[in-house]
Structure 1
Amino acid sequence: MSATKLTRREQRALAQHFIDTLEGSAFPNSKRIYITATQPGVRVPMREIQLSPTLIGGSKEQPQYEENEAIPVYDTSGPYGDPQIAINVQQGLAKLRQPWIDARGDTEELTVRSSDYTKARLADDGLDELRFSGVLTPKTRQSRTPRHPTALRPPGYHHARNGIHRHSREYGSRAHT
Protein backbone atom coordinates (compact mmCIF):
# COMPACT_ATOMS: atom_id res chain seq x y z
CA MET A 1 0.00 0.00 0.00
CA SER A 2 1.26 3.44 -0.87
CA ALA A 3 2.35 5.72 1.97
CA THR A 4 1.07 8.86 0.25
CA LYS A 5 -2.56 9.41 -0.58
CA LEU A 6 -3.36 10.78 -4.02
CA THR A 7 -4.99 14.18 -4.23
CA ARG A 8 -8.37 14.58 -5.92
CA ARG A 9 -6.67 16.19 -8.89
CA GLU A 10 -4.32 13.19 -9.24
CA GLN A 11 -7.22 10.74 -8.88
CA ARG A 12 -9.16 12.58 -11.60
CA ALA A 13 -6.10 12.59 -13.85
CA LEU A 14 -5.70 8.82 -13.41
CA ALA A 15 -9.41 8.26 -14.09
CA GLN A 16 -9.24 10.43 -17.21
CA HIS A 17 -6.17 8.53 -18.43
CA PHE A 18 -8.04 5.23 -17.94
CA ILE A 19 -11.02 6.52 -19.94
CA ASP A 20 -8.81 7.92 -22.70
CA THR A 21 -6.85 4.68 -23.14
CA LEU A 22 -9.72 2.21 -22.74
CA GLU A 23 -9.79 -0.39 -25.49
CA GLY A 24 -11.44 -3.73 -26.12
CA SER A 25 -9.61 -6.79 -24.96
CA ALA A 26 -9.66 -10.46 -25.86
CA PHE A 27 -9.93 -13.30 -23.38
CA PRO A 28 -7.33 -16.07 -23.32
CA ASN A 29 -8.12 -19.31 -25.18
CA SER A 30 -11.13 -17.78 -26.88
CA LYS A 31 -12.10 -15.81 -29.93
CA ARG A 32 -15.07 -13.64 -30.71
CA ILE A 33 -17.50 -14.92 -33.30
CA TYR A 34 -20.83 -13.56 -34.50
CA ILE A 35 -24.10 -15.35 -35.20
CA THR A 36 -26.50 -13.67 -37.58
CA ALA A 37 -29.97 -13.01 -36.21
CA THR A 38 -33.38 -12.89 -37.87
CA GLN A 39 -33.25 -9.08 -38.08
CA PRO A 40 -31.16 -7.86 -41.01
CA GLY A 41 -27.84 -6.41 -39.97
CA VAL A 42 -27.93 -7.91 -36.46
CA ARG A 43 -24.92 -9.90 -35.35
CA VAL A 44 -25.05 -11.59 -31.95
CA PRO A 45 -21.63 -11.69 -30.29
CA MET A 46 -20.50 -15.07 -29.02
CA ARG A 47 -17.22 -16.16 -27.51
CA GLU A 48 -15.85 -19.47 -28.75
CA ILE A 49 -13.86 -20.97 -25.88
CA GLN A 50 -11.10 -23.43 -26.79
CA LEU A 51 -10.96 -26.31 -24.32
CA SER A 52 -7.82 -28.19 -23.39
CA PRO A 53 -7.55 -31.86 -24.38
CA THR A 54 -8.96 -34.49 -21.99
CA LEU A 55 -6.69 -37.23 -20.66
CA ILE A 56 -8.36 -40.53 -21.62
CA GLY A 57 -5.68 -43.07 -20.77
CA GLY A 58 -2.20 -44.21 -21.56
CA SER A 59 0.76 -44.20 -19.23
CA LYS A 60 2.78 -41.52 -17.50
CA GLU A 61 5.32 -41.65 -20.26
CA GLN A 62 2.80 -41.88 -23.12
CA PRO A 63 -0.50 -40.22 -22.08
CA GLN A 64 -3.40 -40.31 -24.52
CA TYR A 65 -5.55 -37.24 -24.99
CA GLU A 66 -8.83 -36.57 -26.74
CA GLU A 67 -9.39 -33.17 -28.33
CA ASN A 68 -12.47 -31.26 -27.19
CA GLU A 69 -14.62 -29.08 -29.40
CA ALA A 70 -14.78 -25.36 -28.73
CA ILE A 71 -17.83 -24.18 -26.80
CA PRO A 72 -19.70 -21.06 -27.96
CA VAL A 73 -21.13 -18.90 -25.16
CA TYR A 74 -22.98 -15.59 -25.31
CA ASP A 75 -20.56 -12.67 -25.01
CA THR A 76 -21.98 -10.07 -22.63
CA SER A 77 -19.05 -7.66 -22.89
CA GLY A 78 -20.60 -5.72 -25.78
CA PRO A 79 -18.14 -3.60 -27.76
CA TYR A 80 -15.64 -3.78 -24.90
CA GLY A 81 -14.86 -7.40 -25.75
CA ASP A 82 -14.00 -6.65 -29.37
CA PRO A 83 -10.43 -5.43 -29.93
CA GLN A 84 -11.44 -4.26 -33.45
CA ILE A 85 -13.87 -1.60 -32.17
CA ALA A 86 -12.63 1.86 -31.18
CA ILE A 87 -14.14 2.74 -27.81
CA ASN A 88 -15.01 6.28 -26.79
CA VAL A 89 -16.68 6.23 -23.37
CA GLN A 90 -17.59 9.91 -23.60
CA GLN A 91 -19.63 9.36 -26.79
CA GLY A 92 -21.48 6.36 -25.39
CA LEU A 93 -22.55 3.22 -27.20
CA ALA A 94 -23.84 3.23 -30.76
CA LYS A 95 -27.63 3.38 -31.02
CA LEU A 96 -28.03 0.02 -32.76
CA ARG A 97 -31.62 -0.51 -31.64
CA GLN A 98 -32.92 2.96 -32.53
CA PRO A 99 -34.28 2.00 -35.99
CA TRP A 100 -36.21 -0.94 -34.49
CA ILE A 101 -37.67 1.22 -31.73
CA ASP A 102 -38.74 3.85 -34.26
CA ALA A 103 -40.26 1.20 -36.55
CA ARG A 104 -42.40 -0.23 -33.72
CA GLY A 105 -44.13 3.12 -33.28
CA ASP A 106 -44.95 2.57 -29.60
CA THR A 107 -42.71 5.29 -28.16
CA GLU A 108 -42.57 9.04 -28.50
CA GLU A 109 -39.74 11.53 -28.19
CA LEU A 110 -39.89 13.88 -25.21
CA THR A 111 -39.19 17.55 -25.87
CA VAL A 112 -37.87 18.20 -22.35
CA ARG A 113 -36.24 16.16 -19.63
CA SER A 114 -38.98 14.84 -17.35
CA SER A 115 -36.96 13.98 -14.24
CA ASP A 116 -36.55 16.69 -11.59
CA TYR A 117 -33.25 15.09 -10.61
CA THR A 118 -31.95 15.34 -14.19
CA LYS A 119 -33.08 18.96 -14.47
CA ALA A 120 -31.25 19.81 -11.24
CA ARG A 121 -28.05 18.09 -12.41
CA LEU A 122 -28.18 19.90 -15.77
CA ALA A 123 -28.60 23.25 -14.01
CA ASP A 124 -25.55 22.62 -11.77
CA ASP A 125 -22.58 24.29 -13.51
CA GLY A 126 -20.16 22.58 -11.12
CA LEU A 127 -20.78 19.28 -12.90
CA ASP A 128 -19.83 20.57 -16.37
CA GLU A 129 -16.32 19.12 -16.30
CA LEU A 130 -17.66 15.66 -15.41
CA ARG A 131 -20.28 15.49 -18.15
CA PHE A 132 -19.77 13.34 -21.20
CA SER A 133 -20.50 15.15 -24.44
CA GLY A 134 -22.59 12.36 -25.96
CA VAL A 135 -25.00 12.05 -23.04
CA LEU A 136 -27.04 15.20 -23.58
CA THR A 137 -27.49 14.90 -27.33
CA PRO A 138 -29.82 11.87 -27.56
CA LYS A 139 -33.49 12.57 -27.06
CA THR A 140 -35.31 10.81 -24.27
CA ARG A 141 -38.17 8.53 -25.27
CA GLN A 142 -41.18 7.28 -23.36
CA SER A 143 -43.77 4.64 -24.02
CA ARG A 144 -47.02 5.81 -25.54
CA THR A 145 -50.29 5.06 -23.77
CA PRO A 146 -51.10 1.36 -24.21
CA ARG A 147 -53.31 0.71 -27.23
CA HIS A 148 -55.40 -2.01 -25.61
CA PRO A 149 -57.87 -0.68 -22.99
CA THR A 150 -57.42 -3.70 -20.70
CA ALA A 151 -53.81 -2.69 -20.15
CA LEU A 152 -55.06 0.33 -18.18
CA ARG A 153 -57.30 -1.67 -15.83
CA PRO A 154 -56.19 -2.62 -12.31
CA PRO A 155 -55.47 -6.25 -11.38
CA GLY A 156 -58.63 -8.21 -10.57
CA TYR A 157 -60.86 -6.04 -12.77
CA HIS A 158 -61.90 -8.93 -15.02
CA HIS A 159 -62.87 -11.15 -12.06
CA ALA A 160 -64.84 -8.42 -10.30
CA ARG A 161 -66.72 -7.44 -13.46
CA ASN A 162 -67.68 -11.03 -14.23
CA GLY A 163 -68.74 -11.88 -10.68
CA ILE A 164 -65.91 -14.33 -10.09
CA HIS A 165 -65.42 -14.60 -6.34
CA ARG A 166 -61.92 -15.31 -5.13
CA HIS A 167 -61.75 -16.48 -1.53
CA SER A 168 -58.13 -15.50 -1.22
CA ARG A 169 -59.11 -11.85 -1.68
CA GLU A 170 -61.69 -12.00 1.08
CA TYR A 171 -60.13 -14.32 3.65
CA GLY A 172 -56.42 -13.99 3.14
CA SER A 173 -53.97 -16.17 1.30
CA ARG A 174 -55.82 -19.49 1.83
CA ALA A 175 -58.96 -20.37 -0.06
CA HIS A 176 -61.79 -21.67 2.15
CA THR A 177 -64.34 -24.16 0.91
Structure 2
Amino acid sequence: MEINNIDVRNYPGSTKTYIEGKLHDIRVPMRRIDLTPTVKIINGEKMMHENAPVYVYDTSGAYTDPDITIDINKGLPRTREKWLSQRDDLEQLPGITSEYGRQREADKGLDSIRFANRYAPRRAKKGCAITQMALAKQGIITPEMEYVAIRENMNNDKLGIKSHITPQLVRDEIAAGRAVLPANINHPESEPMIIGSKFLVKLNTNIGNSALSSGIEEEVNKAVWSCYWGGDTLMDLSTGDNIHETREWIIRNCPVPMGTVPVYQALEKV
Protein backbone atom coordinates (compact mmCIF):
# COMPACT_ATOMS: atom_id res chain seq x y z
CA MET A 1 0.00 0.00 0.00
CA GLU A 2 1.19 3.51 -0.81
CA ILE A 3 -0.22 6.83 0.35
CA ASN A 4 0.11 10.05 -1.58
CA ASN A 5 2.27 12.60 0.20
CA ILE A 6 0.32 15.37 1.88
CA ASP A 7 0.90 18.87 0.57
CA VAL A 8 1.68 20.65 3.82
CA ARG A 9 3.66 23.83 3.33
CA ASN A 10 5.26 26.26 5.73
CA TYR A 11 2.99 28.83 7.34
CA PRO A 12 2.76 32.05 5.27
CA GLY A 13 4.97 34.82 6.60
CA SER A 14 6.97 32.52 8.84
CA THR A 15 10.12 30.40 8.75
CA LYS A 16 11.09 27.14 10.44
CA THR A 17 14.09 27.68 12.68
CA TYR A 18 15.92 25.68 15.35
CA ILE A 19 17.41 26.49 18.75
CA GLU A 20 20.37 24.46 19.99
CA GLY A 21 20.48 22.86 23.43
CA LYS A 22 23.16 23.65 26.01
CA LEU A 23 23.11 20.45 28.07
CA HIS A 24 22.41 17.97 25.29
CA ASP A 25 22.90 17.67 21.54
CA ILE A 26 19.37 18.73 20.59
CA ARG A 27 17.71 21.05 18.08
CA VAL A 28 14.35 22.47 19.08
CA PRO A 29 12.06 23.67 16.28
CA MET A 30 10.38 27.06 16.43
CA ARG A 31 8.28 29.05 14.00
CA ARG A 32 9.72 32.52 13.38
CA ILE A 33 7.07 35.04 12.36
CA ASP A 34 8.36 38.08 10.52
CA LEU A 35 6.55 41.29 11.44
CA THR A 36 5.91 44.22 9.16
CA PRO A 37 7.50 47.57 10.13
CA THR A 38 5.59 50.04 12.29
CA VAL A 39 4.77 53.15 10.27
CA LYS A 40 4.11 56.54 11.89
CA ILE A 41 3.62 60.01 10.46
CA ILE A 42 5.69 62.50 12.42
CA ASN A 43 5.59 66.18 11.38
CA GLY A 44 4.20 65.11 8.04
CA GLU A 45 7.02 62.69 7.40
CA LYS A 46 6.55 58.93 7.23
CA MET A 47 8.80 57.14 9.70
CA MET A 48 9.34 53.37 9.64
CA HIS A 49 10.49 51.28 12.57
CA GLU A 50 11.56 47.67 11.95
CA ASN A 51 10.12 45.07 14.33
CA ALA A 52 12.03 42.02 15.46
CA PRO A 53 10.56 38.63 14.50
CA VAL A 54 8.46 36.70 17.01
CA TYR A 55 9.18 33.05 17.84
CA VAL A 56 6.27 30.73 18.61
CA TYR A 57 5.73 27.11 19.58
CA ASP A 58 5.57 24.82 16.53
CA THR A 59 3.83 21.42 16.54
CA SER A 60 4.14 20.75 12.79
CA GLY A 61 7.29 18.64 13.07
CA ALA A 62 9.30 17.91 9.93
CA TYR A 63 6.31 18.67 7.70
CA THR A 64 7.21 22.37 7.52
CA ASP A 65 10.99 21.93 7.33
CA PRO A 66 12.06 22.72 3.75
CA ASP A 67 15.31 20.78 4.25
CA ILE A 68 13.54 17.48 4.97
CA THR A 69 11.92 15.37 2.26
CA ILE A 70 8.69 13.89 3.56
CA ASP A 71 7.56 10.45 2.44
CA ILE A 72 4.47 9.26 4.29
CA ASN A 73 5.24 5.69 3.19
CA LYS A 74 8.60 5.74 5.00
CA GLY A 75 7.59 7.78 8.04
CA LEU A 76 9.06 10.81 9.77
CA PRO A 77 12.66 11.22 10.94
CA ARG A 78 13.05 9.44 14.29
CA THR A 79 14.04 12.52 16.29
CA ARG A 80 14.70 10.74 19.59
CA GLU A 81 16.30 7.55 18.22
CA LYS A 82 19.85 8.69 19.03
CA TRP A 83 18.93 9.65 22.59
CA LEU A 84 17.29 6.28 23.18
CA SER A 85 20.21 4.32 21.70
CA GLN A 86 22.60 6.00 24.16
CA ARG A 87 20.62 4.98 27.25
CA ASP A 88 21.86 2.03 29.31
CA ASP A 89 18.46 1.24 30.85
CA LEU A 90 16.82 0.09 27.60
CA GLU A 91 17.15 -2.99 25.43
CA GLN A 92 15.97 -3.68 21.89
CA LEU A 93 13.95 -6.80 21.25
CA PRO A 94 14.47 -8.92 18.12
CA GLY A 95 10.86 -8.37 17.12
CA ILE A 96 7.27 -8.07 18.30
CA THR A 97 6.59 -10.21 21.37
CA SER A 98 2.85 -9.86 21.99
CA GLU A 99 0.68 -12.76 20.86
CA TYR A 100 -1.73 -10.45 19.05
CA GLY A 101 1.09 -8.59 17.32
CA ARG A 102 2.64 -11.83 16.09
CA GLN A 103 -0.73 -12.98 14.77
CA ARG A 104 -1.08 -9.79 12.76
CA GLU A 105 2.48 -10.10 11.44
CA ALA A 106 1.78 -13.66 10.27
CA ASP A 107 -1.47 -12.73 8.49
CA LYS A 108 -0.45 -12.49 4.81
CA GLY A 109 -3.84 -11.00 4.02
CA LEU A 110 -2.69 -7.80 5.74
CA ASP A 111 0.49 -7.38 3.69
CA SER A 112 -1.20 -4.96 1.30
CA ILE A 113 -2.02 -2.45 4.06
CA ARG A 114 0.95 -2.99 6.38
CA PHE A 115 3.39 -0.12 6.99
CA ALA A 116 6.53 -1.12 5.12
CA ASN A 117 9.21 0.15 7.50
CA ARG A 118 9.25 -2.16 10.52
CA TYR A 119 11.07 -1.36 13.74
CA ALA A 120 11.94 -3.72 16.57
CA PRO A 121 10.49 -2.45 19.86
CA ARG A 122 12.48 -1.37 22.90
CA ARG A 123 11.72 -2.15 26.52
CA ALA A 124 13.18 -1.47 29.95
CA LYS A 125 16.02 -3.68 31.12
CA LYS A 126 15.14 -5.84 34.09
CA GLY A 127 14.90 -3.81 37.26
CA CYS A 128 15.05 -0.43 35.49
CA ALA A 129 12.47 2.33 35.81
CA ILE A 130 12.62 4.23 32.51
CA THR A 131 9.91 6.89 32.57
CA GLN A 132 10.70 10.59 32.56
CA MET A 133 9.27 10.76 36.11
CA ALA A 134 11.58 7.97 37.30
CA LEU A 135 14.59 9.70 35.76
CA ALA A 136 13.52 13.07 37.18
CA LYS A 137 13.30 11.57 40.67
CA GLN A 138 16.89 10.39 40.24
CA GLY A 139 17.94 14.00 39.59
CA ILE A 140 18.57 13.43 35.89
CA ILE A 141 17.80 16.16 33.35
CA THR A 142 17.13 14.22 30.16
CA PRO A 143 17.35 15.56 26.60
CA GLU A 144 13.55 15.54 26.59
CA MET A 145 13.46 17.81 29.65
CA GLU A 146 15.86 20.35 28.18
CA TYR A 147 13.95 20.18 24.88
CA VAL A 148 10.63 21.14 26.47
CA ALA A 149 12.24 23.89 28.56
CA ILE A 150 13.51 25.51 25.36
CA ARG A 151 10.12 25.06 23.66
CA GLU A 152 8.24 26.61 26.56
CA ASN A 153 10.63 29.59 26.63
CA MET A 154 9.83 30.32 22.98
CA ASN A 155 13.30 31.80 22.37
CA ASN A 156 13.24 34.15 25.38
CA ASP A 157 16.54 32.79 26.68
CA LYS A 158 18.24 33.39 23.35
CA LEU A 159 16.88 36.95 23.30
CA GLY A 160 18.34 37.61 26.73
CA ILE A 161 14.96 37.61 28.46
CA LYS A 162 15.21 35.81 31.79
CA SER A 163 12.67 32.99 32.03
CA HIS A 164 11.69 30.89 35.04
CA ILE A 165 11.21 27.86 32.78
CA THR A 166 14.55 26.10 32.96
CA PRO A 167 15.53 22.45 32.49
CA GLN A 168 15.84 22.23 36.28
CA LEU A 169 12.28 23.52 36.76
CA VAL A 170 11.02 20.96 34.24
CA ARG A 171 12.77 18.18 36.16
CA ASP A 172 11.42 19.44 39.49
CA GLU A 173 7.81 19.61 38.25
CA ILE A 174 7.94 16.11 36.74
CA ALA A 175 9.56 14.62 39.84
CA ALA A 176 6.89 16.18 42.04
CA GLY A 177 4.09 14.79 39.86
CA ARG A 178 2.87 18.25 38.85
CA ALA A 179 3.73 17.81 35.17
CA VAL A 180 3.91 15.00 32.66
CA LEU A 181 6.29 14.60 29.71
CA PRO A 182 4.93 11.90 27.35
CA ALA A 183 7.95 10.21 25.77
CA ASN A 184 7.09 6.69 24.60
CA ILE A 185 10.34 4.86 23.85
CA ASN A 186 8.70 3.18 20.84
CA HIS A 187 7.50 6.42 19.29
CA PRO A 188 10.80 8.25 18.69
CA GLU A 189 9.22 10.30 15.89
CA SER A 190 7.41 12.36 18.54
CA GLU A 191 8.94 15.63 19.66
CA PRO A 192 9.00 16.16 23.45
CA MET A 193 6.31 18.33 25.02
CA ILE A 194 5.07 18.88 28.57
CA ILE A 195 1.70 19.26 30.26
CA GLY A 196 1.44 20.97 33.64
CA SER A 197 0.13 24.00 35.51
CA LYS A 198 3.37 25.97 35.08
CA PHE A 199 3.55 25.44 31.33
CA LEU A 200 1.71 26.53 28.20
CA VAL A 201 -1.86 25.35 27.69
CA LYS A 202 -1.98 22.38 25.30
CA LEU A 203 -4.56 21.26 22.75
CA ASN A 204 -5.53 17.64 22.20
CA THR A 205 -7.22 16.43 19.02
CA ASN A 206 -9.28 13.30 18.42
CA ILE A 207 -9.31 11.24 15.23
CA GLY A 208 -10.37 7.71 14.38
CA ASN A 209 -11.96 5.45 11.82
CA SER A 210 -15.26 3.63 12.17
CA ALA A 211 -16.78 0.46 10.78
CA LEU A 212 -18.69 2.62 8.30
CA SER A 213 -16.10 5.02 6.92
CA SER A 214 -12.50 6.21 6.70
CA GLY A 215 -9.39 4.22 5.89
CA ILE A 216 -5.68 4.43 6.62
CA GLU A 217 -4.96 7.30 4.24
CA GLU A 218 -7.76 9.43 5.66
CA GLU A 219 -6.58 8.87 9.23
CA VAL A 220 -2.97 9.76 8.39
CA ASN A 221 -4.24 12.92 6.70
CA LYS A 222 -6.20 13.84 9.82
CA ALA A 223 -3.12 13.34 12.01
CA VAL A 224 -0.87 15.45 9.79
CA TRP A 225 -3.31 18.35 9.57
CA SER A 226 -3.96 18.17 13.31
CA CYS A 227 -0.25 18.76 13.96
CA TYR A 228 -0.02 21.44 11.29
CA TRP A 229 -2.85 23.47 12.84
CA GLY A 230 -1.45 23.30 16.37
CA GLY A 231 -2.58 20.07 18.00
CA ASP A 232 -0.11 19.28 20.80
CA THR A 233 -1.26 15.68 21.31
CA LEU A 234 -3.35 13.23 19.33
CA MET A 235 -5.86 10.56 20.33
CA ASP A 236 -6.70 7.75 17.92
CA LEU A 237 -10.24 6.66 18.79
CA SER A 238 -10.65 4.20 15.93
CA THR A 239 -13.43 1.62 16.25
CA GLY A 240 -13.40 0.18 12.73
CA ASP A 241 -11.37 -2.40 10.87
CA ASN A 242 -7.60 -2.93 10.93
CA ILE A 243 -6.99 -0.62 13.89
CA HIS A 244 -3.59 -2.23 14.55
CA GLU A 245 -2.26 -1.44 11.05
CA THR A 246 -3.94 1.97 10.87
CA ARG A 247 -2.34 3.02 14.14
CA GLU A 248 1.13 1.97 12.99
CA TRP A 249 0.79 4.24 9.96
CA ILE A 250 -0.32 7.14 12.17
CA ILE A 251 2.41 6.67 14.78
CA ARG A 252 5.19 6.52 12.20
CA ASN A 253 3.97 9.82 10.72
CA CYS A 254 3.01 11.65 13.92
CA PRO A 255 5.42 14.22 15.47
CA VAL A 256 3.38 14.62 18.67
CA PRO A 257 2.57 12.17 21.50
CA MET A 258 -0.30 9.84 20.64
CA GLY A 259 -2.75 7.98 22.82
CA THR A 260 -5.68 5.64 22.40
CA VAL A 261 -8.53 3.90 24.23
CA PRO A 262 -7.64 0.19 24.43
CA VAL A 263 -11.23 -0.94 24.96
CA TYR A 264 -12.11 0.28 21.45
CA GLN A 265 -9.55 -2.07 19.94
CA ALA A 266 -10.71 -4.83 22.28
CA LEU A 267 -14.15 -4.52 20.71
CA GLU A 268 -12.65 -5.03 17.24
CA LYS A 269 -10.85 -8.17 18.45
CA VAL A 270 -14.03 -9.83 19.72
Structure 1 counterpart of 2:4, which letter? D
Q: How far is the alpha carbon of 1:144 from its aligned partner?
A: 1.8
Aligned partners of 1:31 and 1:48 also within 8 Å: yes
User: Does 2:59 correspond to 1:113?
Assistant: no
User: Does 2:126 correspond to 1:145?
Assistant: yes
Structure 2 counterpart of 1:35, which letter? I
SS in 2 for 1:20: coil
Q: How far is the alpha carbon of 1:140 from its aligned partner?
A: 0.6
Q: Give 1:72-151 correspondences, 5 Å limit.
A: 72-134=55-117, 136=118, 138-147=119-128
Q: For the structure 1 residues 67 and 122, does the alpha-carbon distance in structure 2 shift closer, same or farther, using more than 3 Å as the test?
A: same
Q: Normalization by structure 1: what TM-score? A: 0.58
- CA–CA distance in structure 1, aligned partners of residues 105 and 128 of structure 2: 34
User: Does 2:7 correspond to 1:20?
Assistant: no
Structure 1 counterpart of 2:126, which letter? T
Q: For the structure 1 residues 132 and 57, does the alpha-carbon distance in structure 2 shift closer, same or farther, using more than 3 Å as the test?
A: same
- CA–CA distance in structure 1, aligned partners of residues 41 and 98 of structure 2: 65
SS in 1 for 2:84: helix
Give the counterpart of 2:21 among 31, 37, 56: 37
Between the two structures, name the one with larger relative contact order (CA 8 Å, sep ≥ 6): 2
For structure 2, the 5+ residue unaligned runs are: 135-270
**What is the CA deviation profile of residues 41-80 of structure 1, one whole-angstrom value per residue up to 9, with x for unaligned ones?**
x32211101234557777xx98877543211123221111
How many aligned positions are there? 129
Aligned partners of 2:62 and 2:70 also within 8 Å: yes
Aligned partners of 2:96 and 2:102 also within 8 Å: yes
Aligned partners of 2:62 and 2:77 also within 8 Å: no
More moved, 75-84 vs 113-122: 113-122
For structure 1, the 5+ residue unaligned runs are: 1-11, 152-177
Q: How far is the alpha carbon of 1:111 from its aligned partner?
A: 2.5
SS in 2 for 1:142: strand
Percent identity of the aligned residues? 37
Q: Normalization by structure 2: what TM-score? A: 0.40
Q: For the structure 1 residues 56 and 115, does the alpha-carbon distance in structure 2 shift closer, same or farther, using more than 3 Å as the test?
A: farther
Structure 1 counterpart of 2:94, which letter? T
Cα root mean square deviation, aligned: 3.1
**What is the CA deviation profile of residues 113-149 of structure 1, one whole-angstrom value per residue up to 9, with x for unaligned ones?**
1233322321222221111211x2x21100123448x
